[in-house]
Amino acid sequence: MLELENVTRQFGGLRALNNVNMTAPANRVVGLIGPNGAGKTTLINIISGLDHPTSGTIRFEGRDISHQPPHVISRLGIARTYQNIRLFGEMTALENLLIGQHARGHSTVFGALAFSPGYRAEERRLRDHAHHLLERFNLTHAANTRAGNLPYGDQRRLEMARALASGPKLVLLDEPTAGMNAIETHELGEQIVRLRDDGLTVLVIEHDMNLIAQTCDEVYVLNFGEILTHGTPDAVKHNPLVIESYLGKDE
Ligand SMILES: Nc1ncnc2c1ncn2[C@@H]1O[C@H](COP(=O)(O)OP(=O)(O)OP(=O)(O)O)[C@@H](O)[C@H]1O
Ligand SMILES: [Mg+2]
């Protein structure tokens, strides 16, 4: 589904990613772990088109997307969340989801044909889908609350719901449980597993090894921009190189 071949991203003298080879097979949850500054967010940025590789190739469903802009990549079926939540704080939870559906609709939500019957039918469909997402992420109570006023855990789940609103095939999650407690983290893990059950492919950056074990089919470990190792969550957790570079001796 997603393939990275010898991907390098250089910022001046710094190689944030150095010859990264990686695949995310269809209908799998793939984890990406590594210390701060390892290049994890840079990797998601270049897959989602926000940034581009200095060299190497990114393929999605066989198509080279290495230098496509974000809106094209979104339309092909890749969505993402941000490490620092990026919601429209002044808009309600529901409005954030309606905007997130942009890549999905045929006419735009705020399009000029706002009063045509086709538009109205589509808007109803989009609204139904947004309400369905709110329900799924336990956010029904928050539908008409401004996103910026929601508790942190709700904002994190809304960020994920927004990514799903466009109806993606591949979802890139950048530390989706950051700041959550153990119970919220476990519940979010269940949501991630459910995405796979629904046929989606997930690439998740995460520091919490319990969440990795709960959700991931396989894990890549990134260290100073290079893939240190790759395997099942269990194999990675017991790999001496990973323990030394990342997990620490007490893990
Ligand atoms: N736009 C940029 N210009 C210059 N350097 C950058 C840029 N973006 C990232 N870097 C550098 O690239 C390296 C990798 O950063 P990145 O944000 O990808 O790390 P990360 O693994 O996501 O870390 P964290 O766990 O802290 O989120 C860091 O050294 C960072 O300072
Ligand atoms: Mg990061």
Q: What are the tens digits of pLDDT across the range 108-131?
A: 555 555 566 677 777 788 889 999
Average pLDDT, the chain: 91
β-bridge mates for residue 23, sequence order: 3
The residue ranges of every structural domain in the chain are 2-77+168-247, 88-157
Residue (of 6, 143, 137) closest to 81 by Cα position:
137
Distance 219 CA to ligand 1 centre (A): 20
d(CA 160, CA 80): 8
Can you state the angle between helices 152-165 and 117-136, rounded to 10 degrees? 140
Strand partners, 218: 30
* Cβ of residue 74 lying under 6 Å from some atom of ligand 1: no
User: What SS3 state is found at 59?
Assistant: strand
The two structure tokens encoding residue 210: 């319990």
Q: Which residues surround ligand 2, an ion (CB under 5 A)?
A: 40-41, 83
pLDDT at 82 over 90: yes
User: Whole-angstrom Cα distance, residue 155 to residue 111?
Assistant: 27
Residues 211 and 208: their CA atoms lie apart, in Å, by: 5
- Does the CA dihedral 80-25-242-21 come out positive or negative? negative
Distance (Å, whole) CA 44 – CA 75: 16
How far apart CA 28 and CA 80 sit, in angstroms, is 16
Query: Is this prediction's pTM over 0.85?
Result: yes
Q: How is residue 207 annotated by DSSP?
A: S
* 3-class SS of residue 66: coil
Evaluate whether 65 touches 53 at the Cβ level (below 8 Å).
no
Whether domain 2-77+168-247 has CATH 2.130.10.10: no
- Higher-pLDDT residue of 171 and 242 is 171
The 10s digit of each residue's pLDDT in 188-229 is: 999 999 999 999 999 999 999 999 999 999 999 999 999 999
- From the list 53, 68, 65, 57, the residue with the least C-alpha distance to 8 is 53
Encoded amino acid at 10, one letter:
Q
For 69, the token pair is 């802009």
Q: Is the pLDDT of residue 107 over 70?
A: no
pLDDT by residue (tens digit) across 32-47?
A: 999 999 999 999 999 9
pLDDT at 121 (0 to 100): 79
Q: Which ligand number lies closest to the CA of residue 82?
A: 2
Looking at ligand 1, which residue's alpha carbon is closest to its atom 28? 37
Amino acid identity of residue 244, one-letter, is: E
Q: Is 225 in the pocket of ligand 1 (CB under 6 A)?
A: no
